[in-house]
Amino acid sequence: MVNTSGSSSQNTGSSKVGTGFKNFLRQDTQAQKESTKAERETTKVEKKTSSALRKFLTKERSLGSASSGVGLSIGVNPTLAWYIFFVGLIQYFLRLSGVGGTAPFFIAVFLLFIPSGYAVAQQAKKDKIVVLVPMLMFVLWYFVFEGNVEPSFLIYFFAVFGVLILIPLAFTKGKSTVAEALGFVPVLFLFLDLGMIPWLVETLNLTITPLLRSMVLFMPWWALLGLFFLPKSKNDGLNTFVGFLKIIGLLYVVFALITPMIPNLGYNTAGTLVPGAAELEDAQQRFRDQLPTGENPAFSNFACLFSDPTNIQSCVDGRQEKAIIENICLKKLGGDARSTDLSACQEEEAKKRKGGAVKVVGTIDPTIKIPTRANIKFDKRDFPTTSEFNLPFPFEFLLENPRKQDIKVQLDCNFTSLGTQSSVKGVVKGVNKFKTSDVEFESSYLCQPQTKLEGRYDVYFTVDLLNLKTISRLQRAFVGKKDPKHKERLLREEISKVIKIPLSQSPADFAKINFDLGHGRGQIVIEDTQTKNLVLLSKIENAAAGNIIKVHKYTIDLEGFETDDGSRDCMEGPKENQLTSTSLYVRDLPLPSCLISNYPQELKDTVDWIPKEFEAELVYDYQITRKQGVLIKS
Amino acid sequence: MKRIIIFVVVIASMFMLVSCGSGPGSNAISYNFKQGSAGLEVKFLPKAPPPKIYPTSDFKMIVDMKNLQAYDVTQAKMKLVGIEGKYFDVNPLEQNLDVLVGRSLEYPSGDQVFVEFSVHAGELFQNAEQYRNPFFLKVHYFSSMEFTDTICVNPSFYKVYDGGCQQRERKSYSGQGAAIAVRSVEQIVFPSGTGTNLEYRFTLGNAGRGKVGFVNLGKVRLGGKDLSCEFTGKGIIDKRRVELKDIGQKTTLICKTFLKDQRSYETTLTADFTYDYEISQQHSLNLVK
């Protein structure tokens, strides 16, 4: 306020201004003090928050009492562990039985994956949040971003991922490293369960060994994980039971895995994209479809340990053979076959397998994902139950023909009375003989009995597939003349990395030729030497549930190779009367073997080594039969 | 947090330091190429071969080969081993190459050559989805190596200082700019009546990632005097020739001389060798549907 009444008023005014300014300065200083105070308090709060956050992340949490009422547990919550174990078992059996479609996948992802991460965190006594971070980031990358490995995306993704990982590391001063690494345990089990091993088999051309078979078909991954999570409790009885279960689990793993190990790959396959979940599941399903389902090797090994301890391998082989035969018969007869029919089929199948064929082993070609397949389907509820209207019996025929072969198809049906054993002819109405080269063929048919049926019958649906062709291939390495050390070095450092499968390979068709060429069984190196024999062994294997009804031709392409007796029977045939209908009625049909006395010079003259792939072709007719028991009332 | 920042700064600094000072740069005129270990740099050009090959297509495989040694490469032979002819018809499978000049002041980058292989892809087996053919790219060549160093020769056994130089019993070396290298030289003095027996032990070994075939000794000189030398140890073919079969295998060359003069002096110790070498790399061809 300015006083307008002269100099004294000016002095008063100036003093007032000065006072006001001083007051302003005091206020400013006061404000500064308050601001500083506020800042100090803010810093205190921040420090408290930071300290609280650090404590929150690194705090060792007690787990509280278990809801199962068995007392306090140390480690994983027992309810959670039992949950993972039982749900894991259910999911395993669903997958094993093939029932449930995509249910095993959804159970694995939604009902097992996240709880396992939680359990891992509890087991490691680390905070749950830190363990879940890598799991959630993996889920985002794998399912949302479909496992994108483009460099530009990865830079961006890992930058964000890195910050999220570093934050807990920074706050916990590195203590959460182990917890974050443990977050990948559920990820690993998810991959294993979805089908990582079958995918590796197909992508990396691994030999399908019994070990691999065990690990894919018979390993309940989630249940095993749940089993090992089960904690100790105060109850001694429960502890004993849980301990016993864990020992069984360990023994199961040991017995299932007492088989030759997967061959060492030794080759970097970096550059292949990470497979999606669907791709893994598909690989697993193809793998399962193509494998002969025998008995669980763990059970075989365990049973033989007690029943025949001095000859375990032979006992296991016998049990596996029996299980494979049973599965073949169940496929032939349908799941609800009568026990007498099943026994008869098993006897017949066992006779077939005792053909005395040379044990030449082949394997499924992992690069051929879709073999030629056929199937007869029917629903017995559609069958007539009375003879009143003389109704036909409907069925369907499905053919998968990926190589577009020209296949002749002949359909037939007949009825065998169970009482009188007499046969009643049936006629497949409409087009029952045709030729097709379609990739997929499916059609419905009606089987009309020629006379009225009354009583119990077995109805047989038969499909003859004519002019099928299956080609097998075999890889070998020709090294010429080399000293043993040089040969061993070549085999170890080079040949084994190029030729990884020593057996003949073919698609999982109805029948195939298995053949072996070399100085010994499965030996992939062939030398130019006078001191070792070069032998060709082969057989025709009936690999499906039907019968080979005719072999039109077999050839093993060894152009330029000469036999010691000049005969070509081991390389082409059959000769007249060589393969009769009786001799075809076996699982393994031996072909002539021979000694090779000479082969092309170009395969001998080499400073290094030469890879060579041989093919064997089989042209044949095949018959598939499905049987169903019916009761026709008058 | 502070520790993390310091750690990151240290690592970044190390990267910067390592990336600096490699190669002759602007000081090429004084750079000694006959040091360290060096060999042939061999690689396929990107997309030659292509990552995915389709049936019945034609493509080229082009190898970029550069001589980073300080010595010429002669009689080089490049071949592709392990390719299955039914799927990939390669023409030719083996090629001989001209001399590749080594690095020097006149030619600091070393000779470079591009080698082409024409390939015709066949069909896949039946209805296979793909076929992967691992194979090996091998290069075999002949080259040489020269060892030179100024050393102190002190024939006096009693190590009395005589105003000359100080002898070092053992010296180590990082290499001579080749795929084989003299790793160390040991000097041993034996008094002998009217003079002194001097023995030099050279430790020679494979310095590259390939395989040494044979190593042949040329001349070893101490100043202007030839030394009498022979190889010892494994793989000896004769006194002046050795075969180093295993990677990392070393051999020892022992050279002897007799000196009458007891005074110490500095002089040049030189040795030259010739050898053959093989590089092998694994690659793969992928035939897809």
Instruction: Note whether B126 contacts A497, CB cutoff 8 Å.
Output: no
For A171, nearest residue in chain B (alpha carbons): B1
Mean pLDDT to the nearest integer, B88-103: 93
Distance from CA of B280 to the nearest CA of A (A): 10
Which residues are paired to B73 by β-bridges? B100
Cα–Cα distance between A301 and A318 in angstroms, integer?
11
pLDDT given at position A266: 27
Contact of A629 with chain B, judged by CB distance below 8 Å, is answered with: no
Residue A540: pLDDT above 70? yes
High-pLDDT (> 90) share of chain B, %: 57
A67: pLDDT confidence band, cut at 50, 70 and 90? very low
Instruction: Note whether B136 contacts A471, CB cutoff 8 Å.
Output: no
Instruction: Note whether B136 contacts A494, CB cutoff 8 Å.
Output: yes
Using an 8 Å Cβ cutoff, are A433 and A408 in contact?
A: yes
CB-nearest to B282 from A267, A608, A612 is: A267
Residue B168: pLDDT above 80? no
A314-328, A569-583, A593-607, B25-39 — which is least confidently predicted? B25-39
For B87, nearest residue in chain A (alpha carbons): A613
CB-nearest to B127 from A402, A495, A613 is: A402
Contact of A183 with chain B, judged by CB distance below 8 Å, is answered with: no
- Burial A328-365, CB ≥16 within 10 A → b, else e: bbbbbbeeebeeebeeebbeebeebbebebeebebbbb
pLDDT given at position B197: 86
Mean pLDDT to the nearest integer, B7-36: 58
**pLDDT tens figures, A401-412:** 999 999 999 999
The identity of residue A39, as a single letter, is: E
Residue A312: pLDDT above 50? yes
Q: How many Cβ atoms from other residues are within 10 Å of residue B20's Cβ?
A: 8
**pLDDT tens figures, A6-60:** 444 444 545 555 565 556 555 555 655 665 666 666 566 656 656 665 665 555 5
Contact of B129 with chain A, judged by CB distance below 8 Å, is answered with: yes
CB-nearest to A367 from B82, B83, B130 is: B130
Residue A161: pLDDT above 80? no
Q: Which residue has the higher pLDDT, B250 or B25?
A: B250
**pLDDT tens figures, A110-144:** 888 888 888 887 766 555 666 777 777 777 777 77
Contact of B237 with chain A, judged by CB distance below 8 Å, is answered with: no
| SS3 sequence of A166-200 | HHHHHHHCCCCHHHHHHCHHHHHHHHHHHCHHHHH
Instruction: Note whether A613 contacts B79, CB cutoff 8 Å.
Output: no
Q: Which residue has the higher pLDDT, A129 or A510?
A: A510
Contact of A494 with chain B, judged by CB distance below 8 Å, is answered with: yes
Q: What DSSP assignment string belongs to A270-310? A: BTBPPPPHHHHHHHHHHHHHHS-----HHHHHHHHHHH-GG
**pLDDT tens figures, A393-402:** 999 999 999 9
CB-nearest to A369 from B4, B129, B280 is: B129
Residue A233: pLDDT above 80? no
Contact of B80 with chain A, judged by CB distance below 8 Å, is answered with: no
Contact of B81 with chain A, judged by CB distance below 8 Å, is answered with: yes
**pLDDT tens figures, A191-201:** 777 777 666 66
Q: Which of residues 267-286 of B touch A (CB under 8 A)?
A: 280, 282, 284
Contact of B55 with chain A, judged by CB distance below 8 Å, is answered with: no
Q: Which of A367, A401, A486 to mutate to test the interface with B (most CBs of B within 10 A)?
A: A367
Using an 8 Å Cβ cutoff, are B232 and B254 in contact?
A: yes
Using a CB-CB cut-off of 8 Å, the residues of chain A touching B284 are 267
Using a CB-CB cut-off of 8 Å, the residues of chain B touching A611 are 82-84
